[in-house]
Structure 1
Amino acid sequence: MCGIAGIFDTRGQQDYPRELMQRMNDIQSHRGPDESGYHFEPGVAFAHRRLSIIDLSTGQQPLFNEDGSVVVVFNGEIYNYQELIPELTALGHRFHTRSDTEVIVHAWESWGEACVQRFRGMFAFALWDRNRQTFFMARDRMGVKPMYYAILRDGTLVFGSELKVLMQHPDLDRTMDPLAVEEYFALGYVAEPRTIFKGARKLDPGFTLTIRRGEPIPQPKPYWDVRFTLDHNLNLADATAELKERLKESVRLRMIAEVPLGAFLSGGVDSSAVVATMAGLSDEPVNTCSIAFDDPAFNESEFAQMVADRYKTNHRVETVQSDDFDLIDTLAALYDEPYADSSAIPTYRVCQLARKHVTVALSGDGGDENMGGYRRYRFHMMEEKMRGGLPYGLRRPLFGFLGSVYPKADWAPRVFRAKTTFQALARDSVQAYFHSVSILRDDMRRQLFSQRFRQELGGYNALEVFRRHAANAQTDDPLALIQYLDIKTYLVGDINTKVDRASMAHSLEVREPLMDHPLVEWLASLPSSLKIKGQEGKYVFKKSMEPMLPRDVLYRPKMGFAVPLSRWFRGPLKERVREALLGETLRATGLFNEAYLRHLVDAHQSGARDYSSAIWTTLMFEAFLRNCQTTAQPAPLVRSA
C-alpha cells in the first residue's frame, strides 16, 4: 500500500520542477513512510511513497522494465502476481524483483491495455511507455484504491492517490463544483467521477485512461462491470459449500505478506467470517482487534470476543469514549473533500489500534452490498411489492399527496413512519431507493440551499447519479438493481473512501476478501432468493457460516459502526454546532438558507426533531471549508528549462 503522484505533459516535453514533485509526494507521506522515489524525463515526472509489504528489499518504485522504457508507480496489491510471473517469463520477460509491481510493467508490454483484465487485486497505477509515447492509468474493479487526476489548461495531466496531492499544483482549478455540493448533501460524499473541485476528477472503478502524447485526450473507458445474471441455480447445500471455498481462496491470497498481519473483528457476520476463515488457514493464532464503546447502545465487543475466544486469536480491544468527537478537524484534513459518514471516527480508531500490532489487516467490507445484508434492502423489497400492486400513474398522485400531508415521525421505528413509506410509494424504484439512502432528502435540500445556489444548480439533482448507473445495470430484479447501485455508489464513495483514508492515515494496509472480483461475479450469478429469505439478509452466507460461528453472531440484529450524534449535538457539541452552522464560514459561501440552518439547530437542540444526520453533514462541510482556507493555494512555481 502506497501513495503515488505524477505529472504528464500530454502535448509536449516540458520539464517539471523537482520541488513541485517533492511537495506532491511529501503531502501523502502517511501513505508510505518507508521510502520515497522519483523519476524525471522530458514531459514526465513520477513520485512514489512506499509502505513495504512484499519484496521488502527490492520492490522500490518507480519501477522499470528491462531497458527502462516503461516506468510505473503503483498503489495496492496484485494478489495473483505469483501466477503471472511464470507466464510472463515464458513470453521472454526477465524479472529483477519478487514484487507484484514488476508484473505490471511486463504485463503492459505483452498485453497492453488488456493487462488489467489479468490482474486480481486492489490497485491504482500509472505508467509511461516511452517507445509508444503512451501514458496509461487504471483503477481496480471495486474502487478499493483511489485515483485522482486533473487535466490543466496547458495540457498537463496531474494525478495522485489523494486530492491533496493535486492541490499542491498551483494551476489546479479549485472552483467548487455546485453539482458536487448537491451530491454531497444528498449522499454524504461526492460520487465518482466528480470531486468537490471543478478542475479535478476521480477515475471510476474498473476504468482505464490511455493518452498518446500529442493526440486528443480521450474519455476514460471501462474494462469491467458486474453483471447480475442470477442464473446459477444451485441448491442451498451446494451454494454454501462453494461460497466457503471461494471465501477461503480469497482470504488465502490476501494473507500473503512479509510483515505482521491481522484482521478487524467487529462482532458482525462479515468480519467474523473472515477471521474464522483466516484461523483455518493459519498455523499461528490470528491477530485481531476491536473497538469497544462505553455506551452500551453502540457496543458489540462481546460478540467479537465470542469469535476471538472460539478461534483463540491474539485479540486486542480498546474502548472509545462516547464523547470521542475531537477528530472532526482531523477527518476534514484527511478526506480533502466533504465526507459525512460519522463511522469514520471509530474506523480511524480501529486502524490506529491495529497499526500498533500489524501492518496489514483484513476486513469484512463489501459483504452487505454483495450478499444483500442491509436492512434497507428488505424495506425496499417490501415497498417494491406494494409498488407492483398499483400502476405508477395512480401511485404517484395518490401517495404523493399522502406523503405531503402525513406528519413526520423520525422518532418512530421505520415501519411506522408512514410519511416516508408514502413518499417512497409515490416514486419509481430508482427514485425510491435514492430517497431512502439520502441524508438530506429532496425537500430538505431545497430548503437548505439558498435561492441563488438552487438557480446555479440549474435543476440538477443527485438522483442523476443513480439514474446513470441504473441505465447500465442490465437487470430488472429489484434486489439486484439496488445491490448494483450500492456497488457503484455507496461502496466506493463511502465505505472504500472511509477505510482507505483512515487506514492510510496510520500507514496500515487493509485488504477486503469480500470484494474479490471473482467472488463478486459468482455472487451476482446467484438468485436473489438465496440472499434475502423472508426477513433474513445474507441468507446463503449465514448458512455457510453456521458450522464456524456462534448463532448469536450470525442472527442477531445488525448494529453498525455508529456514534451518538444526536446526544452530542444536544450536549457537549451544542455550542460548536451553533457556531459552525450559524457562523461566518457557511454564511460567506452564499450556498445556504440561513433561516433553515437555524431551524435545524433550534429544532434539534430543543428535542423537537432529530436532525443529527443533517447537522453532521453540514458540520463536516463547514470543517472542509475551513481546512481549504488553511491549506491555501500554493505559490506558482517556475518550471525549469
Structure 2
Amino acid sequence: MCGIVAIHDPRSPEGPSAELGRSMLDRVEHRGPDGRGERTVGPTWLGHVRLAIVDLDEGDQPLGPADGHWAVVNGEIYNHHELRRVSGLHFATASDSEAALAAAVAGDLDQLADLRGMFAFVVAHPDGRGVAVRDPLGVKPLYWARVDGATLFASELVAFAPEMRGHVEEFPPGFRWTPQEGLVRFRELHVGGEPIADVESARTAVRDTLVTAVRRRMMADVPVGVFLSGGLDSSLVAAVMASFADDVPGPVHSFAAGTEGSSDLLAARRVAEHLGLEHHERVYDADEVVSCLPSVVASIESFEPSLVRSAVPNYLLAEETARTVKVVLTGEGADELFAGYAHYRDITDGADLADELLRGVSGLHNLNLQRCDRVTMAHGLEARVPFLDRDLVNLAGRIPIEWRLPGELGQEKALLREAFTGWLPEDLLWRPKEQFGDGSGTADVMTERAAELVPEDDWAQQRVAGLPAPRTREELAYQRMFADRLAGIDARVLGRFATA
C-alpha cells in the first residue's frame, strides 16, 4: 500500500517539473512511511511513497525492469504469482506490484482485466507513452487533473495545489487512460453467469468463495490483523483468519473501538475470545471524538455526516492498530452484496432490489471504501476488503434476489449467516446489524455535541462557498473543516451524496 503521484506533460522534452511532483508527493507522504522514490521517464514524472508489505527488501518504487518501463503502484495484486508464470517480462523483484507493470507492457492492454486485487497505478514507457489504471471497484483511490496540456495523477485530493483544485476529477473505477486513446473501460464490475440453481449450492459457494477471498488477502510478509466490530461481517472474516492462522507471520490480531460499554466492544471481545485471537481495544470518550473531528474530515476528504460518524471510530481504531500491524482485513461490502441495510427491506420488487444492490456496490468508492482507505492510510496502515473479491461480487450477482431477502426470522443476510453455521456461537452469528457509528457509541456522542459544533445563531445564515447547502448544523461543521483543508475542490468530485 502506498501513495502515488504522476505527471505526464508531452510539451516538455526534458520531462515534467520534478519540483511540482515532489510537492504533490509531500502532501501524501503519510500513505508511505517506509520509503520514497521518483523517476523521470521521457515526458512522465513518477513519484511514490511506500508502505512495505510484500518483498520488504526489494520492493521499492518506482519499479522498472531492464527494458525501460517504469511504474508506480498503489495496492495489492493477489494473483501475481500466477501472472508471473504466464508473462514474458523479466521480473526484477518479488513484489506483487510488478505484475501490474507486466500487464501494462504486455502489448495487449486488455490483459489488465486479468489483475485480481485493489490497485491504482501509472506506467511510463520508454517511447514516451503512458497508461493510468484503477481497479473496477475503486478500492484504491485515484484522482487526476488536466491543466494546460499536462495530466496529473495522485492518490488523494490534498496532493493537488489550491490553484489546480478546480480541475481535479475522480479517475473512474474500471478504466484505463492513455494519451492516445483517452479513457477506456477495461473491465465491467459484473461479468455475468448462470444463476445458482438451489439454496444449498448457494450457501456452499458463498462459504468457499469467502474463505478463498480472505486467504488471498492474508498474503503478507508482515503480521496481519482484522478490524472486529463484533458484527457478522468482520466476525466471519476473523473466523476464517483464525482457521488459517498459519498463513501469516505471527498470531492473528483483532482490533475493536468504541465508547466504554458500547455493544461493539462487548461483542468483539466475545468473538475474539471464542476464536483465540490476540485482541486489542481502543476505548474513547466524547471529548476525544470531538477533538479528532478536524483530522477525520481531513483524512476522509468528505463532509457527508454518516461517513464522518462511521469514520471517527475507524480513525481511532486505525491509530491503535498501526502500533501493532501494517495490514488489516475489514468487512466492507457485505451489506451491499447481501442486502444487509434496513432500507433494502422497503424495496418489494426483486428487480428493483437487484438494481439498488448493484448501485450500492458501484458507489462504494465514494463512501465506505473511501473512508476505509483514508482513515487507515492516515496512520500508515493497509486495509483489505475480502467481501469485495472479484469472485464473490460475481457470485452474489448470480444468487437469486429472493434468497438475499430476510429469512424466516426476519434477519438480514440470512443466506450468509446460514453459510457459516458452526463458525461462530449462534447468538453472535445471528446478532442484528448496527451501523458502526451506532454500535461503537459514536452516533450518540455526535448527537449530543452537534450544537457545540455550530451554534444555533450561526447555523441559519452561514454557508461554505462552493459546497451544497448543508442539511444540518452538523454537516455545516464538517463542511467548514473540509474547506479548511481542501478549499477549491468541486463538490461533484466527492460523489452523489456530497451534492444531494
The AA in structure 2 aligned to 1:272 is S
Matched residue SS, 2:436: coil
1:304-332 superposed Cα distances (whole Å, 9 cap, x missing partner): 12211111110111212144211221123
**Alignment partner for residue 297 of structure 2, among 332, 339, 355?**
332
- The equivalent of 1:163 in structure 2 is 157
Gaps of 5+ in 1: 175-196, 385-475, 598-612, 632-641
TM-score, normalised to structure 1, is: 0.70
- The equivalent of 1:313 in structure 2 is 277
Matched residue SS, 2:178: strand
Pick closer, same or farther for the CA change 1:34–1:533 going to 2, 3 Å. Answer: same
Pick closer, same or farther for the CA change 1:84–1:537 going to 2, 3 Å. Answer: same
Pick closer, same or farther for the CA change 1:42–1:270 going to 2, 3 Å. Answer: same
Q: Does structure 1 retain, via aligned residues, the 8 Å contact 2:466–2:488?
A: no
The worse-fitting range, judged by mean Cα deviation, of 222-231 and 240-249 is 222-231
**Alignment partner for residue 477 of structure 2, among 615, 619, 624?**
619
- The equivalent of 1:397 in structure 2 is none
Q: Does structure 2 retain, via aligned residues, the 8 Å contact 1:141–1:517?
A: no
Q: For 2:366 and 2:457, how far apart are their aligned partners in 1?
A: 25
Q: For 1:6 and 1:35, how far apart are their aligned partners in 2?
A: 17
- The answer to whether structure 1 residue 376 and structure 2 residue 338 are counterparts is no
Matched residue SS, 1:343: helix
Matched residue SS, 2:105: helix
The AA in structure 2 aligned to 1:238 is S
Q: For 1:566 and 1:159, how far apart are their aligned partners in 2?
A: 35
Q: For 1:77 and 1:591, how far apart are their aligned partners in 2?
A: 34
Q: Does structure 1 retain, via aligned residues, the 8 Å contact 2:8–2:16?
A: no
Matched residue SS, 2:73: strand
Pick closer, same or farther for the CA change 1:354–1:233 going to 2, 3 Å. Answer: same
The AA in structure 1 aligned to 2:178 is T
Q: Does structure 1 retain, via aligned residues, the 8 Å contact 2:297–2:482?
A: yes
The AA in structure 1 aligned to 2:207 is K
Q: For 2:38 and 2:346, how far apart are their aligned partners in 1?
A: 52
**Alignment partner for residue 114 of structure 2, among 114, 118, 137?**
118
The AA in structure 1 aligned to 2:84 is I
- The equivalent of 1:435 in structure 2 is none
Q: Kindly report the root-mean-square deviation, in angstroms, between the aligned alpha carbons of the 2 structures.
A: 2.5
- The equivalent of 2:32 in structure 1 is 32
Q: For 1:329 and 1:583, how far apart are their aligned partners in 2?
A: 22
The AA in structure 2 aligned to 1:301 is L
- The equivalent of 2:369 in structure 1 is 496
Pick closer, same or farther for the CA change 1:477–1:44 going to 2, 3 Å. Answer: same
The AA in structure 1 aligned to 2:453 is R
Deviation, 1:561, is 1.1
- The equivalent of 1:576 in structure 2 is 453
Deviation, 1:42, is 3.9
Matched residue SS, 1:275: helix
- The equivalent of 1:448 in structure 2 is none
Deviation, 1:226, is 3.2
- The equivalent of 1:300 in structure 2 is 264
Q: For 1:5 and 1:23, how far apart are their aligned partners in 2?
A: 10
Q: For 1:108 and 1:562, how far apart are their aligned partners in 2?
A: 40
Q: Percent identity?
A: 31
Q: For 2:468 and 2:119, how far apart are their aligned partners in 1?
A: 38
The AA in structure 2 aligned to 1:250 is A
- The equivalent of 1:104 in structure 2 is 100
Q: Does structure 1 retain, via aligned residues, the 8 Å contact 2:228–2:235?
A: yes
- The answer to whether structure 1 residue 484 and structure 2 residue 380 are counterparts is no
Deviation, 1:223, is 2.1
Q: Does structure 2 retain, via aligned residues, the 8 Å contact 1:285–1:312?
A: no
Deviation, 1:293, is 1.7
TM-score, normalised to structure 2, is: 0.89
Pick closer, same or farther for the CA change 1:588–1:487 going to 2, 3 Å. Answer: closer
- The equivalent of 1:207 in structure 2 is 175
Deviation, 1:615, is 2.7
1:220-247 superposed Cα distances (whole Å, 9 cap, x missing partner): 2222223496842332222222221111
- Structure 1 residues 253-264: aligned runs within 5 Å: 253-264=216-227
- The equivalent of 1:134 in structure 2 is 129
Matched residue SS, 1:138: strand
Q: For 2:446 and 2:382, how far apart are their aligned partners in 1?
A: 33
- The equivalent of 2:75 in structure 1 is 76
Q: Does structure 2 retain, via aligned residues, the 8 Å contact 1:306–1:550?
A: no
- The equivalent of 1:347 in structure 2 is 314
Q: Does structure 1 retain, via aligned residues, the 8 Å contact 2:299–2:378?
A: yes
The AA in structure 1 aligned to 2:38 is Y
Q: For 1:136 and 1:224, how far apart are their aligned partners in 2?
A: 15
Q: For 1:580 and 1:550, how far apart are their aligned partners in 2?
A: 51
Deviation, 1:567, is 5.8
Q: For 1:591 and 1:318, how far apart are their aligned partners in 2?
A: 34
- Structure 1 residues 402-417: aligned runs within 5 Å: none
The AA in structure 1 aligned to 2:357 is Q
Gaps of 5+ in 2: 490-500
Q: For 1:224 and 1:44, how far apart are their aligned partners in 2?
A: 25
Q: Does structure 2 retain, via aligned residues, the 8 Å contact 1:125–1:139?
A: yes
Q: Does structure 1 retain, via aligned residues, the 8 Å contact 2:232–2:431?
A: no
